[in-house]
């Protein structure tokens, strides 16, 4: 495969459906389906399993996805390095994003940011959310974008930008499943304590969704029966789908399912997305426009909603003025 084809695989793997991936890539669904079929026939393996048109990586698909992610990361880093060598006057902006999202982030913001600031040289480094604040504190990166607050560095600003609701995924055969709404835009609410006799399938204790889930359990004074926990999100999701227990899903992954129903939590639970930078950094107009671009791209994610902020509102106003030729 060439890098364009790896981008196709990467986009398919980070999308819920072929049509969603095709929209991100700017090509037709038919063309992308034809590409995927040809690649699977060439390698004699299936990269994705399909359930009601939804995509799920197979074991072989995981291998090619990881390869695509690394290749695209090398490409983006190489382009940044070449740009800096060809024009030493370019200013560098070091951005940290979580693994599996770094290349996606780079592809979404790069052209838009450079169209406004051609002398910029944005670099994306993949750093887990729980390590980002330390990276800002150590001045390894200028900005970081991730979920949850994980450290106590007083010199790091964690600016809440958006949030995504977490819901409870329940096997359809569960006794309480009959109470779930069929309207996925208006889910039924339930207290987590209603599942006191049901095993939970959970991510590991360092995972952001697990951290939020533990807060829900603590607030409800509820000690769940945890039947299984893993660092692998796909394994966790697979076990929930097979009926081994209930678990927490991001609202962005809620789609019509044959084997699952979904409940809102009462009270609601959210995973918050933060923009991080050093408090003593004197933010330039370039910095503020970058923050606004990241913020707007984040809101394109299904299920995301903004967290009200006068500062971010000012950044988005500046971005709009700059793109309309009235800014810098």
Query: Strand 91-97 to strand 247-250: parallel, antiparallel, or no bridges (unpaired)?
Result: unpaired
- CATH code: domain of residue 41: 1.10.10.10
Query: Strand 91-97 to strand 120-126: parallel, antiparallel, or no bridges (unpaired)?
Result: parallel
pLDDT of residue 26: 74
Q: How confident is the model at residue 78 (pLDDT cuts 50, 70, 90)?
A: low
pLDDT per residue as tens digits for the range 193-244: 999 889 999 998 888 889 999 999 999 998 999 999 988 777 888 888 888 9
Average pLDDT, the chain: 86
Does 47 share its domain with 82? no
Does residue 311 form part of some domain? yes
Does 288 share its domain with 144? yes
Q: Per-residue pLDDT for 51 more than 90? A: no
Q: Domain boundary at 13, 31, 65, which? A: 65
Q: Hey, is 171 helix, strand or coil?
A: strand
Does 10 share its domain with 146? no
Mean of pLDDT values over 254-259: 82
Does 16 share its domain with 40? yes
Backbone angles phi, psi at 269, to 5 degrees: -125, 140
Does 267 share its domain with 188? yes
| Cα atoms found within 13 Å of the Cα of residue 293, Cβ hemisphere only | 26
Q: Per-residue pLDDT for 327 more than 50? A: no
Mean of pLDDT values over 38-55: 81
Q: Domain boundary at 65, 81, 108, which? A: 65
Query: Strand 91-97 to strand 143-147: parallel, antiparallel, or no bridges (unpaired)?
Result: parallel
The DSSP H or E segment spanning 67 is helix 59-86
Does residue 182 form part of some domain? yes
Does residue 328 form part of some domain? no
pLDDT per residue as tens digits for the range 142-170: 999 888 888 879 999 999 999 999 999 99
Are 174 and 246 a contacting pair, CB within 8 Å?
A: yes
Backbone angles phi, psi at 230, to 5 degrees: -155, 155
Does residue 264 form part of some domain? yes
| Residue 268 to residue 24: CA distance in whole angstroms | 30
Does 153 share its domain with 192? no
Nearest C-alpha neighbor of 163 from the set 307, 1, 67, 288: 307
pLDDT of residue 44: 82
Does residue 120 form part of some domain? yes
pLDDT per residue as tens digits for the range 261-304: 999 999 999 999 999 999 999 999 999 999 999 899 888 877 88
Does residue 49 form part of some domain? yes
pLDDT of residue 301: 78
Does 19 share its domain with 60? yes
Q: Which domain holds residue 19?
A: 3-65
Indicate the Cα dihedral angle 243, 247, 252, 256, nearest 10°. Answer: 30
Number of continuous H segments (helices) and E segments (strands) in the chain: 10, 12
Nearest C-alpha neighbor of 157 from the set 271, 48, 74, 281: 281
Q: How confident is the model at residue 81 (pLDDT cuts 50, 70, 90)?
A: low
Q: Domain boundary at 13, 37, 65, which? A: 65
Does 248 share its domain with 300? no
pLDDT per residue as tens digits for the range 100-149: 565 566 667 777 888 888 888 788 888 888 889 999 999 999 999 888 88
Q: Hey, is 174 helix, strand or coil?
A: coil
| Residue 91 to residue 266: CA distance in whole angstroms | 47
Does 16 share its domain with 57? yes
Q: How many domains, the chain?
A: 3
What pairs with residue 17 in β-bridges?
54
Does 186 share its domain with 237? yes
Does 37 share its domain with 92? no
DSSP secondary structure code for residue 187 in this structure: P
Q: How confident is the model at residue 84 (pLDDT cuts 50, 70, 90)?
A: low
- CATH code: domain of residue 167: 3.40.190.10
Are 113 and 293 a contacting pair, CB within 8 Å?
A: yes
SS (H, E, C) 158-222: EEEEEEEEEEEEEECCCHHHHHCCCCCCCCCEECHHHHCCCEEEEECCCCHHHHHHHHHHHHCCC
Does 186 share its domain with 227? yes
Q: Per-residue pLDDT for 328 more than 70? A: no
pLDDT of residue 221: 92
Does residue 112 form part of some domain? yes
The answer to whether the predicted template modeling score (pTM) of the entire model surpasses 0.75 is no
DSSP string covering 276-301: EEETT----HHHHHHHHHHHHHHHTS
Q: Per-residue pLDDT for 54 more than 80? A: no
């Amino acid at each position: 495969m060439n890098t364009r084809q790896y981008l196709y695989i990467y986009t398919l793997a980070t999308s819920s459906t072929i049509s969603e991936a095709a929209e991100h890539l700017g090509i037709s669904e038919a063309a992308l389906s034809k590409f995927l079929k040809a690649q699977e026939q060439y390698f004699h393996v299936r990269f994705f399993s399909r359930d009601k048109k939804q995509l799920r990586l197979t074991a072989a698909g995981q291998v090619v996805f990881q390869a695509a992610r690394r290749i695209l990361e090398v490409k983006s880093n190489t382009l940044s390095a070449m740009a800096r060598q060809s024009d030493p006057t370019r200013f560098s902006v070091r951005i940290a994003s979580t693994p599996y999202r770094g290349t996606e982030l780079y592809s979404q913001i790069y052209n838009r940011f450079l169209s406004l600031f051609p002398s910029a040289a944005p670099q994306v480094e993949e750093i887990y959310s729980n390590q980002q604040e330390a990276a800002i504190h150590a001045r390894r990166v200028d900005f970081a974008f991730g979920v949850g607050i994980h450290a106590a560095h007083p010199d790091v600003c964690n600016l809440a930008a958006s949030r995504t609701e977490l819901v409870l995924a329940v096997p359809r055969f569960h006794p309480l499943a009959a109470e779930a709404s069929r309207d996925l835009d208006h889910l039924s609410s339930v207290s987590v304590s209603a599942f006191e006799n049901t095993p939970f399938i959970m991510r590991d204790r360092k995972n952001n969704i697990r951290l939020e889930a533990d807060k829900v359990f603590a607030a409800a004074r509820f000690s769940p029966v945890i039947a299984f926990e893993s660092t692998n999100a796909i394994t966790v999701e697979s076990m929930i789908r097979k009926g081994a227990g209930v678990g927490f899903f991001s609202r962005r992954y809620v789609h019509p399912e044959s084997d699952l129903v979904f409940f809102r939590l009462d009270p609601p639970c959210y995973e918050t997305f933060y923009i991080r930078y050093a408090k003593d950094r004197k933010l330039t107009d370039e910095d503020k426009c970058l923050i606004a671009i990241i913020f707007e791209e984040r809101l394109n994610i299904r299920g995301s909603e903004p967290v009200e902020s006068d500062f971010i509102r000012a950044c988005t106003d500046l971005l709009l003025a700059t793109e309309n030729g009235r800014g810098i």
